[in-house]
Amino acid sequence: MATKDIIVIGSSAGGVEALGRLCAALPADLPATIFITQHLSPSAKSVLPQLLDRAGPLPALSPVDGQEFERGHIYVAGPDHHLLVRPGRVLIRRGPHENRTRPAINALFRSAALAYGARVTGVVLTGLLDDGTDGLIAIKAAGGTSVVQDPAEAEWPSMPRNAVKRDHVDHVVPLAGLASLLAELAREDAGPSVPLPQEYITEDRIAAQEFAVMGTEIETPGHASPFSCPDCGGVLNQIETGSELRFRCQVGHAFTPIGLADAQNEELERALGIAVRTHRDRVRLFSQMADNARTRSLPHAVSRWEEASAESEQMIEVLEQATSSLRKPRIDGEG
């Protein structure tokens, strides 16, 4: 009888501490395998596996591509690589970013749902925005179980809160009660699995870069939207699965609506920052030209350059106000 012996966990901001507390409380005889994706800096070396290994009784490690996994072990995604699950083994791949993140929680959850269906329990912990929500939806659609840290006690509540809003979550629990719940679920009968739609299979292959390995083209699922990809500028396809909506470009970059809005915010901030810097350069140039005209006794030229400088100063003020207004309500789906 198959049990719920595959546990996938996703966390972001505040996740290192939360994962440490969770691993410290897990029983040594947990009859399950745990896979963890924590959002990481792509350029820094991660010591998260060592921290989790010391925190509790279960051995934790960062696996290599194709490694066979064992029950009672914790496998942690490394920087700048997706951690994906296949029957009996893991894949470590530099597939396209999802919500500008690699490793991405949705990529791990989706792969586990496809590989193990009802045997999977997905867990979303503290973090910003909504990575993990679409993955939980895939796990539930495949017959699996979804668990979310209580947003009221999460250090950063956006990720668990969005999961609760968009998914029919099975369990919402405080961090202190999560280890015992997972131990209990791991011993339960998994029940029947449900095949997932083709869109999930295609997106999993994109994350695994199977199109590159096999030398075949993979058609991006969905249909063209009016939006461009913030990462590469290409057209985003709109993918609808039931009532859920997400976006993916031809390169493979993927976004949830909340993730896309946040990425657009970042692009606007970057563009406004460039505009402010350019106008500051113009102010310096115009001031220099006004001084030059003044030494040459050209009052009309002085007046023109000073007016141009004043206009750029006004534009700087307008642009800085626009940048400030973008930063005030961070788009996280809570409003």
Q: What is the reported pLDDT for 192?
A: 97
Report whether 196 contacts 113 (CB < 8 A): yes
Query: What are the structural domain ranges in the chain?
Result: 6-185, 258-327
Residue whose C-alpha is closest to residue 308's, from 276, 284, 274, 292: 284
Residue reference for tokens 């791991």: 186
Instruction: Check residue 334 and give its pLDDT.
Output: 47
Judged on CB neighbours under 10 Å (0-12, 13-18, 19+), 162 is buried
Q: Is 218 exposed, middle or buried (0-12, 13-18, 19+ CB in 10 A)?
A: middle
Q: How far apart are CA 65 and CA 48, in angstroms?
A: 18
DSSP code string of 57-91: SS-EE-PPTTPBP-TT-EEEPPTT-EEEEETTEEE
What is the three-class DSSP state of 191?
coil
Q: Which residues are within 8 A (CB) of 52 and not within 5 positions of it... i.e. 6 or more apart?
A: 19, 20, 23, 36, 60, 74, 76
C-alpha distance across the termini of the chain, in Å: 44
Assign domain 6-185 to a CATH class: alpha beta
Two structure tokens written together for 324: 């400030």
Catalytically active residues are 12, 39, 131
Q: Enter the DSSP assignment of 303.
A: H
d(CA 221, CA 207): 13
Q: Is 205 helix (H, G, I), strand (E, B) or coil?
A: helix
The edge-to-edge listing of strands for the beta sheet with 235-241 is: 223-228, 235-241, 244-249, 254-255
Q: Residues of 6-39 as b/e, b for ≥16 C-beta within 10 angstroms?
A: bbbbbbbbbbbebbbbbbebbeeebebbbbbbbb
**pLDDT by residue for the chain (335 residues), tens digit each?**
899 999 999 999 999 999 999 999 999 999 999 999 999 999 888 999 999 999 999 999 999 999 999 999 999 999 999 999 999 999 999 999 999 999 999 999 999 999 999 999 999 999 999 999 999 999 999 999 999 999 999 999 999 999 999 878 999 999 999 999 999 999 999 999 999 999 999 999 999 998 654 445 678 899 999 999 999 999 999 999 877 899 999 999 999 999 999 999 889 999 999 999 999 999 999 999 999 999 999 999 999 999 999 999 999 999 999 888 876 545 565 43
Give pLDDT, residue 328: 56
